[in-house]
């Protein structure tokens, strides 16, 4: 997928919100093909990052 996305599930501590946000941002960048979206696409891009971050937090909380 993307080498800059690291595994966030750890035994000793929960990932920070910033770590989850950074991973979500990398994921959305990869699947959208945008490093920086156009002004017209920024709302959709940022919404996707928020959604992926929230889903990731729920997943990590449920399995950790």
DSSP string, 2-63: -TT------SS-PPPHHHHHHHHHHHHHHHH--SS--TTTHHHHHHHHHHHHHHHHHHHHHH
Residue extents of the structural domains in the chain: 33-64
What is the pTM assigned to this prediction?
A: 0.86
pLDDT at 3: 65
Question: Residue 9's pLDDT band (boundaries 50, 70, 90)?
Answer: confident
């Amino acid at each position: 997928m993307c080498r800059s996305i690291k595994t966030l599930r750890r035994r000793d501590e929960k990932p920070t919100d910033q770590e989850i946000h950074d991973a979500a941002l990398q994921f959305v960048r990869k699947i959208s093909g945008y490093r920086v979206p156009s002004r017209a696409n920024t709302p959709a891009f940022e919404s996707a990052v928020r959604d992926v971050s929230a889903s990731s937090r729920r997943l990590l909380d449920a399995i950790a």
